[in-house]
Amino acid sequence: MKILDYKKSQDKSIFAELVSPKILRDIDVENTVRLILDDVSRKGDAAVSKYIRQFDKANLSPAQFRVDVEEISDAVNRVEKSFLKAARLAIKNITEYHKFQLRKTRSYQRNDGSRLTQRIRPLNRVGMYVPGGSAPLASSLLMCAVPAKVAGVPEIVMVTPSNSEGEVNPYILASAKLAGVTEMYRVGGVQAIGALAYGTDSIPRVDKIVGPGNKYVVEAKRQVYGIVDVDLIPGPSEILVIADDTANPSWVAADMLSQAEHTGNERVFLVTPSKSLAKEVEKELYLQANQLSRTPQMLSSLEKGGVIVITKDLDQAVEIADLVAAEHLEIMTQDARKIADKVKYAGAIFIGPWTPEPICDYVAGTNHILPTGGTGRMFSGLNLDEFIKKTNVVEISDKGFQQLAESTIIFAEKEELTAHANSVRVRLKNGGKR
């Protein structure tokens, strides 16, 4: 794990290099994804079945793709009541927070009688990808499905891989049922993204694809963008903690490790003016990592992407946080809310010692699908706007037309678009009468 003193110019340069934006392309992944997507677009269900056999080792016919009602009900009955209670709490809080984001169609009328409207309508059909491998992300399903339902999307479609027996994780199925998912398919990987984007006989196409996945799924979303809409293109998870000597080093380390355990490629930062806290947190990181179940992933993340930065003061810590624009930013300092107000860029901000990021991953109500890799500077996390379509509706009055016609013609002629100008001129003939 790297420990840098930001007051030293050499360490400052090292940190700047660590967080500088990098375009990382894996040509092999791109080519593999392109071939699979092309196959699915041309051969539909047959290609989907082929890749399920190849990658998931499950022999499924197209008739078996869709999860039936009995299997969904069985999943709800199989999972623990404590899990169902937790899922219902999460759904309640996610619903409440995303209702707060609801938009309404709005209009205004000018003095000349012209009316301009922004019309809000939900998307008709949204697909969501839910990873089902070593860490089946039922919580990510809720983060996608519940906002879609709040927005009024009538068709909410889930794709998720099965095991070699064709079975879907029961916690994913139960969560999907509780969240109001309308269709569930035991299809994962690039082939699932292709089916959602192009449509097959068994899986009708969608308008938008949301949700996380491995590097192949993420690349598939990137390649189908434009055929359908997609949400974020995520990279490895990351967390940055701003802390001072009032913070509990055990708690700081625990929160950092919560994001270091996914794949072993995560980025975890502590930024603090306290050298004593930095030393205590470093010690706690390795102590706790060796006592938890995903030790190899955590140690790998600490080695590859773990950084502790010693700063002059908390203002400098905020400056560093804005440079990183981390997916998750925790603030454990005196006057933490005041420090948070100074931050410009982050995927999400968690204030105070009682707001560990994992609570917000699951049940606080805010969305945990967030921008990574410094894109928190310009992208927002998943929110209700992802599930609506905004349409401009314009009704110009005859008086308004007369006031706007000449300026329109001037623009059109400067752009050498004579047909644009003509569409206005033909209305000006005969004094603008029809």
CA angle 75-153-184, nearest 5°? 25
Question: Is 327 part of the annotated catalytic residue set?
Answer: yes
User: For residue 134, what pLDDT is reported?
Assistant: 62
User: For residue 432, what pLDDT is reported?
Assistant: 60
- 95 pLDDT band (50/70/90 cuts)? very high
CB 332 within 8 A of CB 252: yes
- 234 pLDDT band (50/70/90 cuts)? confident
Residues in the chain: 434
The residue from 328, 330, 357, 386 that is catalytic is 328
Dig out the tokens for 147 from the structure: 């906002």
Q: Which CATH number is correct for 2-21+235-378, 3.40.50.1980, 3.40.50.970, 2.60.40.10, 3.40.800.20?
A: 3.40.50.1980
In the sheet that holds 155-159, the strands lie side by side as 183-185, 155-159, 125-129, 208-210, 229-230
- % of the chain surpassing 90 pLDDT: 93
Burial class of residue 238 (count of CB atoms within 10 Å of its CB; 0-12, 13-18, 19+): buried
Residue 227 has pLDDT above 90, yes or no: yes
User: For residue 21, what pLDDT is reported?
Assistant: 73
Considering the entire predicted model, what is its pTM?
0.94
CB 1 within 8 A of CB 284: no
- % of the chain surpassing 70 pLDDT: 98
The mean pLDDT of 262-273, rounded to a whole number, is 95
CB 187 within 8 A of CB 130: no
Closest CA to 364 of 352, 379, 380: 352
Task: List, for residues 329-356, the tens digit of each pLDDT value.
Answer: 999 999 999 999 999 999 999 999 999 9
User: For residue 20, what pLDDT is reported?
Assistant: 81
Closest CA to 251 of 332, 338, 328, 309: 332
Closest CA to 200 of 47, 36, 32, 64: 47
The residue from 327, 330, 357, 386 that is catalytic is 327
Question: Is 80 part of the annotated catalytic residue set?
Answer: no
Rounded distance, CA 91 to CA 94, Å?
5
Task: List, for residues 385-396, the tens digit of each pLDDT value.
Answer: 999 999 999 999
- 291 pLDDT band (50/70/90 cuts)? very high
β-pairing verdict for 348-351 and 306-310: unpaired
Q: What is the residue extent of each domain of the chain? A: 2-21+235-378, 44-101+120-230, 397-432
Q: Which residues touch 412 (CB under 8 Å, ≥6 apart)?
A: 418, 420, 421, 424
Residue 22 has pLDDT above 80, yes or no: no
Mean pLDDT check: name the lowest of 130-144, 235-249, 406-420: 130-144
Q: Compute the radius of gyration of the chain from its Cα atoms.
A: 26
User: For residue 302, what pLDDT is reported?
Assistant: 97
User: For residue 19, what pLDDT is reported?
Assistant: 86
Residue 18 has pLDDT above 90, yes or no: no
Helices (H), strands (E): how many in the chain? 17, 14
Closest CA to 182 of 150, 216, 154: 154
Burial class of residue 33 (count of CB atoms within 10 Å of its CB; 0-12, 13-18, 19+): buried
Residue 23 has pLDDT above 80, yes or no: no
| Topology, domain 44-101+120-230 | Rossmann fold (3.40.50)
Average pLDDT, the chain: 95
- 133 pLDDT band (50/70/90 cuts)? low
User: For residue 197, what pLDDT is reported?
Assistant: 98
- 433 pLDDT band (50/70/90 cuts)? low
User: For residue 7, what pLDDT is reported?
Assistant: 87
User: For residue 431, what pLDDT is reported?
Assistant: 66
Please measure the distance between the N-terminal and C-terminal CA atoms of the chain and give it in whole angstroms: 76
Give 140-143 contacts, CB < 8 A, sequence gap 24+. 140/211, 140/212, 140/368, 140/369, 141/172, 141/175, 141/176, 141/179, 141/181, 141/211, 142/87, 142/90, 142/91, 142/94, 142/175, 142/179, 143/94, 143/367, 143/368, 143/369, 143/382
- 114 pLDDT band (50/70/90 cuts)? very high
Strand segments, DSSP code E, in 291-401 are 306-310, 328-332, 348-351, 388-395
Q: Which segments of 183-328 does DSSP mark as H helices, in order?
A: 189-198, 215-224, 249-260, 275-289, 295-305, 314-324
